[in-house]
A and B are shown apart, each in its own frame.
Chain A
């Protein structure tokens, strides 16, 4: 499989995750809205709205980070762009790409143990009555996609350093 085909597959994964996160955001908004309406209009808030928002937050956060990784949108201090030679700046961008994969993998690896503990303890959410390990599974699936998207940035061309850009 050539490099551009691999990249386009990763980008497709990013789009899927972006849409999942978007759906989660809209769901979060609507659930809260309906909950408020039901509470004030009928004194009958939605049971489990709070936990549903927490679940949607997990979908939103762990799927939303893929776009930031693949498109290198993370916040950097780019002072050196105008000081160092272009080759060095590109090397630093590549180093950041590698560190992104390593750091997000570190988080994912660290999350496996508490996820397994949650599975073995069999805890459930108080109102929704769903196992908490489902929530962990959602987070782990999302972060796995984020790792792939972070790795995708490794095969993408590096963005232009600041002093290569068109003058603004």
Chain B
């Protein structure tokens, strides 16, 4: 049997297992183990399976993952998100849709210390949704802005998914963190624009709020200074080349703890809960990385990406057409695959193909994250939509679906812009770190 056929059967087996509820890490490991055994024999496969967990589990570069997750957990417990929303609400008071725009801005800022979309959506929903409802906002606009705002969490640095992408695609974390900044800011601006348009086209969806004085607005800006401090120290430190990502993660986590304790918002119980949550989350992440390594090695041996590339060339498909097909595939996968699982399953197959067509892996990482964001918010399975409904059980799912549709145009527009102007992602890494 041809290696590429074995590869295709392996991918099919993987999806079958996933469909039948086999945990992602087990499906990756079993397909990787059996596939490698067929391709190169049982003894070398055992050698690989013996060293992969040790190499991954002791990788200094991966220590950034628990440290940034801890920083996000502590930020959630200490109510940083609440400060951000309060400030945004006052600054935008008096504007139609101001609360929706404020929720998006606060989500983007909170994402910049949290790194997770679902956590951002959950936290901001808890804080902003009651206020939006009290102000008479329609559930569709409230849910749409919160789901969309929450999804920004993985596109602004420090994005947890980009750290995992860096490990799998063998890319530099600082470069990826630099690459995602401009697209992250652009997407935030796009979402805000959609919220303003939405609120102004459907005036009954967003009643006007009372305006405040300029002095009050300026004073509100001082509220979330802790956010600025943590962000500047961690991400600023990485951009300036002062800290490595692991060092920035340590400093960020410690600063978040220190600020929480100083403001008397972090109790010992809260700190322990944050640490234990970090352990539990990483416990499931690292086993997936074990499995993904075995799977990736198998895919490389089968030369499946080469077969796909040759197939595309025989069909006279241009690089752009291949990329469009990959993006459509990701949007479809997003209906049933969770973001990290999707990354670890597909990157070994798609990345070599993407590189072969001359696209930059850093640029592709950012496009991938934007597509994942679409998956997080598009009906019927967008995870952020369920997060919002879990916090507002009385809100109809149809209202939430209706509210998110206008926001879906924003990431799709950004993907188009990324193709037209790749420098949106590649300019800042080049300025900060030189040509890759």
Residue among A35, A50, A54 with the highest chain B CB neighbour number at 10 A = A54
Note all chain A residues with C-beta closer than 8 A to B331. Answer: none
- With A22-B272, A25-B70, A68-B280: A33-B251 Cβ-Cβ less than 8 Å: yes
Asked whether any CB of chain A lies closer than 8 Å to the CB of B243, the reply is yes
Contact residues on A (Cβ < 8 Å of other chain), bracket: 35 or more
A132 to chain B, nearest CB (A): 10
Cβ-closest chain A residue relative to B20: A92
Residue among A71, A103, A113 with the highest chain B CB neighbour number at 10 A = A103
B residues 239-282 in Cβ contact with A at 8 Å: 243, 246-247, 249-251, 253-254, 272, 275-276, 278-280, 282
The answer to whether B338 touches A77, judged by C-beta atoms less than 8 angstroms apart, is: yes
Note all chain B residues with C-beta closer than 8 A to A55. Answer: 58
Cβ-closest chain B residue relative to A167: B393
Cβ-closest chain B residue relative to A78: B21
Note all chain B residues with C-beta closer than 8 A to A167. Answer: 393
Cβ-closest chain A residue relative to B397: A168
The answer to whether B282 touches A64, judged by C-beta atoms less than 8 angstroms apart, is: yes
- With A57-B63, A79-B336, A96-B23: A168-B389 Cβ-Cβ less than 8 Å: yes
Note all chain A residues with C-beta closer than 8 A to B22. Answer: 76, 95-96, 99
B407 to chain A, nearest CB (A): 21
The answer to whether B254 touches A33, judged by C-beta atoms less than 8 angstroms apart, is: yes
- With A77-B19, A79-B19: A25-B59 Cβ-Cβ less than 8 Å: no
Question: Among B44-52, B144-152, B360-368, which stretch is in contact with chain A?
Answer: B44-52
The answer to whether A114 touches B279, judged by C-beta atoms less than 8 angstroms apart, is: no
The answer to whether B63 touches A53, judged by C-beta atoms less than 8 angstroms apart, is: yes
Cβ-closest chain B residue relative to A23: B275
**At the interface, is chain B mostly helix, strand, loop or mixed?**
helix
Asked whether any CB of chain A lies closer than 8 Å to the CB of B408, the reply is no
Note all chain B residues with C-beta closer than 8 A to A111. Answer: 49-51, 53-54
B155 to chain A, nearest CB (A): 21
A35, B278: Cα distance in complex, Å: 23
The answer to whether A76 touches B66, judged by C-beta atoms less than 8 angstroms apart, is: no
Note all chain A residues with C-beta closer than 8 A to B60. Answer: 50, 53-54, 57
Note all chain B residues with C-beta closer than 8 A to A103. Answer: 25-26, 29-30
Asked whether any CB of chain A lies closer than 8 Å to the CB of B288, the reply is yes
- Interface readout for A59-89 with B: 1 if CB under 8 Å, 0 if not? 0111111111101011111111100000001
B175 to chain A, nearest CB (A): 21
Asked whether any CB of chain A lies closer than 8 Å to the CB of B322, the reply is no
A residues 17-61 in Cβ contact with B at 8 Å: 18, 21-22, 25-26, 28-30, 32-33, 35-36, 50, 53-58, 60-61
A58, B53: Cα distance in complex, Å: 9
A55, B33: Cα distance in complex, Å: 26
The answer to whether A61 touches B341, judged by C-beta atoms less than 8 angstroms apart, is: no
A71, B59: Cα distance in complex, Å: 26
B136 to chain A, nearest CB (A): 24
4 A-B pairs closest in CB distance: A32-B250, A110-B50, A68-B283, A110-B49
Which residues of A are interface residues toward B (Cβ below 8 A)?
18, 21-22, 25-26, 28-30, 32-33, 35-36, 50, 53-58, 60-69, 71, 73-81, 89, 92-93, 95-96, 99-100, 103-104, 106-107, 109-115, 135-136, 139, 143, 167-168
